[in-house]
C-alpha cells in the first residue's frame, strides 16, 4: 500500500497557514516549520484537534500538541496567561478555534486549485487517541511540524482515498 503526500505547493500553503495564523492571531513566532513524515493515521497526544471535511475529497485536519502548548495558545489568543485559564475546557475552546483557522486558511489554497471543500466544526480530544481513514491506496496525507521554542505543534491533512 502506498500513501502519497500532498503536492509541494499545498505543503507550502500548510506551512504558510501555520506561520500566518500563529503570528497574527496567537502572537507566537515559529522558530521553524518543517514537513515531517505522517507515517500513521492513528494519533495519541495530550491534545488532538480534529476537523473533518468533504468536497472534492473527504478527510480530516489533525492538529496535535502538548496540553501546555494548547493552554499557551488559548491564553495568548485571549490575551491572558495560561495559569488564568480555570479549566482545560477553556483551553480546548481556544485550541479548537486554532484548528478552525488553520483549516480555513488551507481551504483557500485547496479551492484556489479548483477544488471544493466544506468544513465541519472542530473537536478537541484531551489525552486521547484518534484514528482517521487515510490508510488505503490512494490516500493523501502530509504534516508540518511547527517549532515554538522548545515545544511543537503538528498540523496534518489527511485525504481519504478517491472513490
Q: How many other C-beta atoms are found inside a 10 Å radius of the C-beta of residue 129? A: 10
Predicted confidence (pLDDT) per residue in 26-39, tens digit: 999 999 999 998 88
> Taking a C-beta distance cutoff of 8 angstroms, is the pair 4, 10 a contact?
no
What is the pTM (predicted TM-score) of this model? 0.92
pLDDT, one tens digit per residue, over 92-101 is 999 999 999 9
- Tell which residue, 3, 120, 111, 4, has the closest CA to residue 56: 111
Q: What DSSP letter does each residue of 29-84 carry, written as one string? A: --SEEEEE----SEEEEEEEEEEEEEESS-EEEEEEE-HHHHHHHHHHHTTS-GGG
Phi, psi for 83 (deg, rounded to 5)? -65, -20
Q: Which residues contact 125 (CB under 8 A, 6 or more apart)?
A: 47, 48, 49, 50
- Mean pLDDT score of the chain: 92
Q: Tens digits of per-residue pLDDT, 72-97?
A: 999 999 999 988 998 999 999 999 99
* CATH tag, 8-159: 3.40.1550.10
State residue 1's pLDDT score: 47
Amino acid at each position: 500500500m502506498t500513501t502519497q503526500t500532498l503536492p509541494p505547493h499545498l505543503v507550502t500553503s500548510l506551512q504558510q497557514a501555520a506561520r500566518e495564523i500563529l503570528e497574527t492571531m496567537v502572537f507566537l513566532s515559529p522558530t521553524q516549520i518543517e514537513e515531517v513524515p505522517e507515517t500513521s493515521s492513528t494519533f495519541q497526544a495530550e491534545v488532538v484537534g480534529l476537523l473533518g471535511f468533504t468536497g472534492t475529497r473527504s478527510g480530516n485536519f489533525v492538529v496535535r500538541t502538548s496540553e501546555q502548548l494548547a493552554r499557551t495558545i488559548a491564553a495568548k489568543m485571549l490575551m491572558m496567561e495560561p495559569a488564568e485559564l480555570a479549566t482545560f475546557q477553556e483551553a480546548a475552546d481556544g485550541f479548537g478555534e486554532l484548528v478552525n483557522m488553520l483549516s480555513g486558511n488551507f481551504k483557500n489554497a485547496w479551492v484556489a486549485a479548483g477544488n471544493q471543500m466544506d468544513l465541519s466544526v472542530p473537536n478537541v480530544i484531551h489525552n486521547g487517541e484518534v484514528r482517521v481513514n487515510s490508510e488505503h491506496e490512494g490516500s493523501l496525507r502530509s504534516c508540518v511540524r511547527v517549532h515554538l521554542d522548545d515545544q511543537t505543534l503538528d498540523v496534518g491533512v489527511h485525504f481519504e482515498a478517491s472513490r
